[in-house]
Structure 1
Amino acid sequence: MPAPDLFLVYVTDIDRSTDFYSRLFDIEATFRSPRYVAFDVGGTVTFALWSGRPDHAHSATPRTSEIGVMLPGPASRIDDVFRDWSTTAGLVVVESPHDDVFGRTFVVADPDGNLVRVAPVD
């Protein structure tokens, strides 16, 4: 049975977002086109940015999903990543580090309002 292997994020400015995510995740794009940029994030999984649908990245569009980054290790690792990311240009803190039902977590947003949650491995 097929499994999800492409996670696509709508953005308004492909160059700005490519730079943002390259710095945030410390990764380089593996494919670039004028409106689509892909990052290999392990195995057969691709994280991609798409500016071909600017109506989907409008700031008034509700963000009902999140990009998830699950980290192994102690809760202090979540706080360490938050401190590291806090200097990233264009990053908006939505939820500061706190304890939730699944452990330590925080949420930030990219320049288009797309949410990124950092949490412990399930």
Structure 2
Amino acid sequence: MSTSIVFIVYVNDAPEAARFYADLLEIRPSFETPRYIAFDLGDGADLALWSGHFDELAPAVPRTSEVCLALPGGPDAIDQRFERWVAKGVRVVSEPRDEVFGRTFVVADPDGNLIRVAPVD
């Protein structure tokens, strides 16, 4: 079995999306081509942005999957991250709230892909 996994997020413009994710997650790409850009998340996991799969993504189309950023530090850390991201101008899909797994919120990237922030399990 492979010891690595790549989570692919489909976007309209990979370089533009990479700038968004780099700013939001405060990381830099580890691999770049004009239509495929990856970020090394550590421990054999990558987040990749790919603009070569669809002709055009519409942000208004409902998404059925999410990328989840799991944060240590409890509810205060979740709320602080929400405030930082709101200050960056992200589109909020769901404001911070308590769920069965802890405090969480959801934002969307410019293409409508969902990004959840939740506590570390």
TM-score normalized by structure 1? 0.91
- Separation in structure 1 between the aligned mates of residue 74 and residue 106 of structure 2, nearest angstrom: 18
CA distance in 2, matches of 1:118, 1:71: 7
Gaps of 5+ in 2: none
Match of 1:48 in 2: 48
1:36-95 deviations in Å (ceiling 9; x for gaps): 001111021111000002347333543100000111122111000001111224x21000
Contact 1:10 1:56 in 2 (8 A): no
In 2: Cα distance, 1:56 partner to 1:107 partner: 23
Q: Aligned to 1:58, what secondary structure does the other structure show?
A: coil
Aligned letter for 2:83?
R
- Map of 1:1-122 to 2, 5 A cutoff? 1-2=1-2, 5-55=5-55, 57-59=57-59, 61-89=61-89, 91-122=90-121
CA distance in structure 1 between the partners assigned to 2:43 and 2:57 by the alignment: 28
Distance apart, 1:34 and its partner CA: 1.0
Counterpart of 2:77, as a letter, is R
**After the TM superposition, which parts of structure 1 deviate over 6 Å for at least 4 consecutive aligned residues?**
none
Change (3 A) 1:104 1:68: same
Partner Cα distance (1:4, 1:57) in 2? 27
* Contact 2:39/2:46 (8 A) holds in 1: yes
CA contact (8 A) 1:38 1:48 kept: yes
Q: CA separation in 2, counterparts of 1:59 and 1:99?
A: 26
Give the paired residue count.
121
Q: CA RMSD in A?
A: 1.6
- Identity fraction in percent: 51
